[in-house]
Each structure stands twice: as structure tokens, then as C-alpha cells.
Amino acid sequence: MREIQALLTGGVPAIPNPRSGDVFDPNSGDIQARVLFGDDATLRAAVTVAEAAQPAWAAVNPQRRARVFFRFKELIERERDALARLLASEHGKTVPDALGDIQRGLDVVEFVCGIPHLLKGEFTEGAGPGIDVYSMRQPLGVVAGITPFNFPAMIPLWMLAPAIACGNAFILKPSERAPSVPVRLAELLREAGLPDGIIQVIHGDKQMVDAILDEPRIKAVSFVGSSDVAQYVYARGTATGKRMQCMGGAKNHGIVMPDADLDQAVEEIVGAAYGSAGERCMALPVVVPVGDATADRLRERLVAAIGGLRVGISTDPDADYGPVVSAAHKARIEGYVGLAIAEGSEVVVDGRGFTLQGHERGFFVGPTLLDRVTADMRSYQEEIFGPVLQMVRVDDAQAAMHLATRHPYGNGVAIFTRDGGAARNFAAQVEVGMVGINVPIPVPVSYHSFGGWKRSGFGDHNQYGMEGIRFFTRVKTVTQRWPASGERQGSSFTIPTMA
């Protein structure tokens, strides 16, 4: 059986550890590989090497660091198809979806190729008599990223690209469910010219997460995962003095106004709700039609669209989505559907018990549509993270906005309308971190930043963009004066001012 090992650079000793995890092929349900876990000793050794290598990397001028990422971009593009197939085989998403996963990460790599400009500080000449003030952004040292299973390329690249471009050394702990692509990306980064010791990939479960959080030489940790775990990681990391950036779960709402183009809205909603089997924190699992007339027309069109969906294996070019990541997750999703029905939801399309001929042991869940969902239902309050769309009916636009605002998650929201004033008002007032106007999955482009509110985000900085640069650097401000030869001003016992 194939073994997936850590990528340890710069002479980190391979310390034997009997613990490992199974990596499944979600399409067949078979174990396809074993990932070898590290332990506390492995982490300490990796951090020691990273800490020794980091100052020299930070001393490399930003233009030369950028050249490594230009080359890295070329290598990812060269390997794109192979990476997509590998990613799909461990996650279950279709190959075209895997290509999108890679591209959204590649966008951030392209962004950090501009690191010489992004790291420029500020300068004020003549802030006082003969005094100039300037600031600089400097790396933190050794930093880490802990990434989820659902985006094995995109999210590691969101973290490692800005961190390393800023001059840090980076420890990556990818999901043990889909570990192969992160290792391959690190190999390509080394091939691009990254010095030894600057990136280390270590596998593990909660034991490794805790080791990272407790290691005092790691100065910052970026995390993406479920909200309960994100809150735990944030609390434990900040307690040890780390800078923390923790993105949690979501329950994104799609508000459908009476004036919306329903045919267009349905196309967008179906793709956003069921793409990647709903295993996206920016999926659209809740649709909120305004008014019963809108709801009835929307429901009719949704049923027709769902009937045309094709669930297939990852390599099926005609599949709209593939299996979910594990048998346990399949059971969890189907359990939530049962809970929703018990709570009083109306099941319109039931995807439970779905099997694919020839792949009966695969982790497939059929598309599900639930109507008459209410805000007090546990199945509405919690993240299902599967191909389940819940319909919550409301009477007016204000009630729709309040629904999204009051929800404990605040990651993303979308509104479908032709009314520019209504959309502008909605975007300004809704208490959610990312808003789409006739855009169902409003993941910002790489030169903006990604981040949710409330239980969807813990910490003060968003992912990538300038927020990512700020997270992985600290500002140093210098106030300087060069007095002329023999010039004296005498002692001052009052606070200095520039007045």
C-alpha cells in the first residue's frame, strides 16, 4: 500500500512514529494509501531547522523571493492536470472542480509575485525639524498553517504563498484525509528554488495540531476548519501568545427577491448548493425566497433542475458532483436530513440511500431539497456540509436580511434581484463578511481578502490579499534624525512632540 510521508527539508531527522491514518478513495470506498503521522519530536526538529534557515531567507531581497514564486507558478501550471486527478482521487470532487481548486490557489501565488511592492512601507520626510519617519514590514519567523480536507490545493496555497513570500519559514499540517496534493505542492516549491528548511510538511491529527499550538517558536498559525475546532484552535493558540487567524464553518443564505430572474437564479443556486457535493464553506445550503408566490415558483424550478443533476465518479466528465469525503461524513449528512424531517421540514427531494451502479461502496449522497424549514430548527442552525438545500420562506426583504444577520455563522450571503437600490441597501446592512449580488459564491479575488464574521472567523485578519501580508508580517517604525556636526539641542524632560 502506498505510504504518504512528511516532507522534511534541511536535514530534519525522520523520527519513527507507529501512528498513521487511512486515506480513502471516496469513489470506491477503498483504502488507497496510508499517511504516516508525525509526533511532538518531529515537530520540534522541523521547527529547529526552520528557525535556523529563516533569517537567511528573510535577508533575500523581495525581488529574488518573487522569482521563486514566478517559477513555482510555472511548475504548478505544468503539473495542473496531474495535481487535479490526484486531488480528486482523495477528496472525491470532480476533476474540473479540482482544477478550479488549484486555480484559486494559483491566483494567490500570482498575487505574491508582487511581493516587492506589497512589502513597501511608508515614509514621511520632515515630520519634525530634521526628522524623518518610516515604517517597514518584517517577517514573524516560523509560522504554521493547518488546512482542511475540502480544498487540498487552494487553502494551503492561500497560506504558504504569502507567508513564505514575506520571508517566513512555514510549517504545513494538511488534512490527513487528503494529504497528497499539499506534499506535492511543497515539492514543487522546493523545485522552484526555495531553500532547505523554509517549508516543512508534517502529517497528523489533533495531537499534531496541539503540538503546533503549544510550540513557542511558532509565532503565528493560520487555520481553516469547522467552527468548533476553529474556536478551540484560536483560544489555545492565543493563550500561548501566538497571532491567530482561524476560519470556521458557514451557513450561507441565498436571498431570492420577487423581481429576480428565477431561471438565472436557479442555475446559480443549484451549482452553488450541490457543487463539490456541498463540501465548501462558501456553498449555498439555504435559499430564502421572499413571499410564498416566489417560493412556489422557485421550488418548481429547483425540482426540475435537481432532477437533471448527474452524480458520478470524480473522473466522469459528465458528472455535476462526486462523492463526499468519507463514510462517516455520508452518514452525518444523511443523519441531518433525518433530523430536519423530524423537526418538521418537508422533504421535496430525498438523496438518502443513493448508490451509483458499479460503485456501490462509494460515499455518494444524492441531491436533497427541504422546504418549510424554520429558523429554530437545529438542522438550519448547524452546518450540514453536504448536497442538501434548505428552503426558508419569509414574507419580506427585511425578514430575509434579518435571517442571515441573526444566524450564528456569518461567512457569506447572496441576494438575487434586479433592484440596484435594494441590493445596495442589503450589502450595507447585512451582518455577514462576504456578500454576493447576483453572485452565488462570493469568494473574493486574490487581491482582496477572504473572511467571515461571527462563528465563521476568529482573529483580526482575513485570508490572502493585503490582509494576508499583514497577518504574516509585523510593522516596525523608525524615527530618525541626523544632526549636523557639532549640533546640540540639550536635554528635554517633556514628551517629544513635532509641534
| Active site residue ranges | 281
| C-alpha grid cell, residue 177 | 484525509
- Number of helices (H), then strands (E), belonging to the chain: the values are 15, 21
| C-alpha grid cell, residue 485 | 556636526
In angstroms, what is the C-alpha Rg of the chain? 25
Residue 308: how many other CB atoms lie within 10 Å: 8
Residue 331, φ and ψ in degrees, nearest 5: -65, -35
For residue 480, the cross-strand partners are: 132
Contact 200, 144 (CB under 8 A): no
Give Cβ neighbours of residue 212 (< 8 Å, ≥ 6 apart): 43, 144, 146, 171, 173, 218, 221
In angstroms, rounded to a whole number, what is the distance separating the alpha carbons of residues 492 and 358?
85
Residue 23, φ and ψ in degrees, nearest 5: -110, 120
Which runs of E-coded beta strand occur in 385-489?
388-391, 409-410, 412-416, 434-437, 453-454, 457-458, 473-481
Give Cβ neighbours of residue 356 (< 8 Å, ≥ 6 apart): 311, 312, 313, 362, 364
Residue bearing cell 462526486? 322
Q: Quick one: angle between helices 180-191 and 62-91, nearest 10? A: 150
Q: Beta 142-146 vs 30-36: how paired, if at all?
A: unpaired
Sheet holding 286-289: strands in order across?
346-349, 368-371, 388-391, 286-289, 253-256, 412-416, 434-437
In angstroms, rounded to a whole number, what is the distance separating the alpha carbons of residues 64 and 68?
7
In angstroms, rounded to a whole number, what is the distance separating the alpha carbons of residues 492 and 427?
53
Amino acid at 491: S
Residue 383: how many other CB atoms lie within 10 Å: 23
Contact 255, 298 (CB under 8 A): no
| C-alpha grid cell, residue 213 | 499550538
Q: Beta 286-289 vs 218-224: how paired, if at all?
A: unpaired
Query: Can you tell me whether residue 256 is helix, strand or coil?
Result: strand
For residue 20, the cross-strand partners are: 36
